[in-house]
Structure 1
Amino acid sequence: MSYSLNACTPKAAGQNRTFTWPNLDNAALNTKYLGNASASDWEYSGSPKLKDGNVILTMPKNSVGTLISSTHYIWYGKIAADVKSSRGKGVVTGFILMSDVKDEIDFEWVGSDLENVQTNFYFQGITNYTNGAKLPITGEDTYIGWHHYEIDWTPEAINWSVDGIVKRTLTKKSTWNGTANRYEYPQTPSRMQLSLWPAGRASNAQGTIDWAGGQIDWNAADIRDQGYYSATFANITMQCYEPPAGSGDGHLSYAYVEKTGLESSVRVTNNSTVLPDMGHTGLNMGTGNSSTGVGASEGSSSTTLTTSTAASTEFVQHENNAPGQLPRSVWLVAGVLLVAMIIS
């Protein structure tokens, strides 16, 4: 979604993991995370909490909830977790895979319907209201009881399982779009996300509010008794499958090499994922990280920019400015605008 592929940073390739939560030291605020997946397993917004080794997503009154995203990406694989969803109309809990081009595979729990879990998928964020399906839950409802949820994602099919039983299967071949000449199937590296969000917030689209069961009651019992809506996750696991054949011989990171956003757009590289600060981009990863441009050959120490990209780098590279100082080009543009305003 950037003006240049080279401006995007590579993303850390996943590892087989079982995540534990003795504390929140392995999670970084999303405003501070700079791509070092070795130091942080997760980045988050909102206010997660811990109890009995489990992670609790919270949504206090009038907030936008909590989102926790894995810093490692998987390119086909399996994710699983034990979940107790939140409850209440307008309150939605999510356990999903999401790629940087908005390929998405979902489990979602609508708080007004605790007898079912919803499944969905998206290709590059394109809305298709026929992609969703409800799966009934056996035993205790999704708020009271623990249930085990699993997404098994391969190049050929996606399986959604509940409590060890496959409840839904989507095949890649069923997603063929003859007009666009492509499979509209999730196919790009994705990270695991845990979320609790206010789909029934009054400012949301009416269709979203209706899907979520209505507007949120910010004075509901959960808000009064504990100060927030909540959802709990435990036994979170990630299993990574082999990347597609011909996608590169690296093992550290994923990078896009062209803009179609298809499986063929991605390469597995050994490029760094770490930025020195928020003022840098993939065009200038900082000292010792110059091999990160997606135009560079894997493992090389140079970055290849197109003419149009090179001409634009002044606006995103800050290496010639003192810390906290804006680039000269920004001051120039600001000066021109100020003069124009005075003249007018």
Structure 2
Amino acid sequence: MHVILYILLGLMAGSALAASDPPSCSTSKSCPKEYPCCSEGTCGTGTYCLGGCDPRMSYSLDACTPKAVGQNRTFSWPNLDNAALNTKYLGNASESDWEYSGSPKLKDGNIILTMPKNSVGTLVSSTHYMWYGKIAADVKSSRGKGVVTGFILMSDVKDEIDFEWVGSDLENVQTNFYFQGITNYRIDEILTAHLKFPDTNGDKLSTSDNTYSSWHHYEINWTPQAIKWSVDGTVKRTLTKKSTWNATANRYEYPQTPSRMQLSLWPAGRASNAQGTIDWAGGEIDWNAADIRDHGYYSATFANITMECYEPPAGSGDGHRSYAYLDKKGLESSVLVTNNNTVLPDMGHTGLNMGTGNSSSSSSSGSDSGDGPSTTSTSSKSGSTEFVQYANNAPGQVPQNVWLAAVVLLFSMIIS
């Protein structure tokens, strides 16, 4: 009896340790089936399987949920009713235009991203994805060394196109692009530690006046052939797809997969960050600067945000609701436009066992919403076991049903 008791206690302790230390993931290490979705290098269920879930590193291609196809929109902010906290968003893009972390605020119909003292800032992401198109916004950036504002297109396989404002340089805006997150650092800059830009994909564009005190209009026009960055109606930079050819890898290293729009304010100059990042951001953040003392936070303001979606590439499927991946190459040819559901029943589910999603809220929104249950499917869903929810438990906390089952089993064995 004592042996069984020790074994059960050991298993329970092991479960606690496992819950506090979720599996990691990378291009060389996929997630396990119990926590099949890879998001930002960590495996899990629920929210891990939604926006940002990387199919290349997940347990299988269908562990990540399909993503809602974008619509032409001009976004207004009378309130935050159209935005969901990222820990509560379940994939229903009909109910929420945005998901967010941090503490966004509203003023005069505009959205303000805030970064209180010692926080990690605010990130707001569109719930619809676009596969080529145009995004635009009027922006007043934040200010201060180490403080960075971002206006970004980001795909689940880390294709990225961005504007970034470094708070110590208010006369310029930086532009960058990445293919699957691959960086190309300049050797001369690494040796001299003078990081003019993070890597060779970056470029700096001048503005007519201060980016913090004055509104400027920024636009990214993304097509299969080229990317154009515009400031106040003038094209300031153009990148062609053909210029990104990598003969060694035999591919174009060009952003080419469905992406969501992101607005961000983040502490690049946080003391715990890599020194190169801190140097690029102008130095460490002053958490006692005037903005913190006077307002309680650093801030950046966005207005007149628009999304215009172009037609998907030819031969990419005849669906109209969601995007799904066919292979782990992460290329344009890897993506299919489907009619598949995008909604999880709860945070314990994954793309492997989505069920019917939120049928009550999505059925009234129309078939073009990209969410809710579908009558047709172009990809199979494997697995039927409901995985233990990890995302809703604090670090070190074992889900309640696991503890309850263990206690009941232990008690029954003791009294017998």
Q: TM-score range by the shorter chain?
A: 0.7 to 0.9
1:177 and 1:303, CA in 2 relative to 1: closer, same or farther beyond 3 A?
closer
1:211 match? 280
Q: Which amino acid in structure 2 is aligned with residue 244 of structure 1?
A: P
Q: TM-score, normalised by structure 2?
A: 0.72
Report the Cα distance in structure 2 between the residues aligned to 1:169 and 1:230, rounded to whole angstroms.
29
> Which string of whole-angstrom CA distances, capped at 9 and with x for unpartnered residues, describes residues 286-316 of structure 1?
23689xxxxxxx96358636xxx75xx6473
SS in 1 for 2:353: coil
1:46 match? 102
1:303 and 1:169, CA in 2 relative to 1: closer, same or farther beyond 3 A?
closer
- Is it true that 1:72 corresponds to 2:128 in the alignment? yes
Report the Cα distance in structure 2 between the residues aligned to 1:288 and 1:13, rounded to whole angstroms.
17
- Structure 1 consecutive aligned stretches of length 4 or more whose deviation exceeds 6 Å: none
- Is it true that 1:102 corresponds to 2:158 in the alignment? yes
Q: Which amino acid in structure 2 is aligned with residue 51 of structure 1?
A: K
Residue 249 of structure 1 contacts residue 268 of structure 1 at CA under 8 Å; is this kept in 2?
A: yes
SS in 2 for 1:209: helix
Report the Cα distance in structure 2 between the residues aligned to 1:95 and 1:163, rounded to whole angstroms.
15
Give the counterpart of 1:277 among 346, 362, 368. Answer: 346
Residue 145 of structure 2 contacts residue 166 of structure 2 at CA under 8 Å; is this kept in 1?
A: yes
2:337 match? 268
SS in 1 for 2:279: helix
Report the Cα distance in structure 1 between the residues aligned to 2:351 and 2:144, rounded to whole angstroms.
42
1:3 match? 59
1:302 and 1:156, CA in 2 relative to 1: closer, same or farther beyond 3 A?
closer
1:192 match? 261
Residue 92 of structure 2 contacts residue 358 of structure 2 at CA under 8 Å; is this kept in 1?
A: no
The size of the alignment, in residue pairs, is 314
- Is it true that 1:154 corresponds to 2:154 in the alignment? no
Give the counterpart of 1:119 among 155, 175, 179. Answer: 175
1:271 Cα offset (Å): 0.7
- Is it true that 1:23 corresponds to 2:73 in the alignment? no
Q: Which has the higher strand share?
A: 1
2:240 match? 171
1:202 match? 271
SS in 2 for 1:236: strand
Report the Cα distance in structure 2 between the residues aligned to 1:301 and 1:67, rounded to whole angstroms.
32
5+ residue gaps, structure 1, are: 291-297, 319-323, 336-344
Residue 5 of structure 1 contacts residue 259 of structure 1 at CA under 8 Å; is this kept in 2?
A: yes
> Which string of whole-angstrom CA distances, capped at 9 and with x for unpartnered residues, describes residues 26-58 of structure 1?
000000000000000000000000000000000
Identity %: 83
1:325 Cα offset (Å): 6.0
1:66 and 1:326, CA in 2 relative to 1: closer, same or farther beyond 3 A?
same
1:255 Cα offset (Å): 0.5
1:270 and 1:27, CA in 2 relative to 1: closer, same or farther beyond 3 A?
same
Give the counterpart of 2:326 among 234, 238, 257. Answer: 257
- Equivalent residues in 2 for 1:220-231, closer than 5 Å: 220-231=289-300
> Which string of whole-angstrom CA distances, capped at 9 and with x for unpartnered residues, describes residues 159-206 of structure 1?
000000000000000000000000000000000000000000000000
SS in 2 for 1:73: coil
Q: Give the alignment's Cα RMSD to 1 decimal.
A: 2.2
Report the Cα distance in structure 1 between the residues aligned to 2:222 and 2:105, rounded to whole angstroms.
29
2:200 match? 130
SS in 1 for 2:266: strand
Q: TM-score, normalised by structure 1?
A: 0.87
Report the Cα distance in structure 1 between the residues aligned to 2:358 and 2:293, rounded to whole angstroms.
50
Residue 272 of structure 1 contacts residue 289 of structure 1 at CA under 8 Å; is this kept in 2?
A: no
SS in 1 for 2:128: strand
2:376 match? 300
Give the counterpart of 1:316 among 378, 387, 390. Answer: 387
Report the Cα distance in structure 2 between the residues aligned to 1:57 and 1:264, rounded to whole angstroms.
36
Residue 84 of structure 2 contacts residue 98 of structure 2 at CA under 8 Å; is this kept in 1?
A: yes
Q: Which amino acid in structure 1 is aligned with residue 166 of structure 2?
A: V
1:246 match? 315
Q: Which amino acid in structure 2 is aligned with residue 300 of structure 1?
A: T
Report the Cα distance in structure 2 between the residues aligned to 1:169 and 1:229, rounded to whole angstroms.
31
Report the Cα distance in structure 2 between the residues aligned to 1:23 and 1:154, rounded to whole angstroms.
32
1:294 match? none
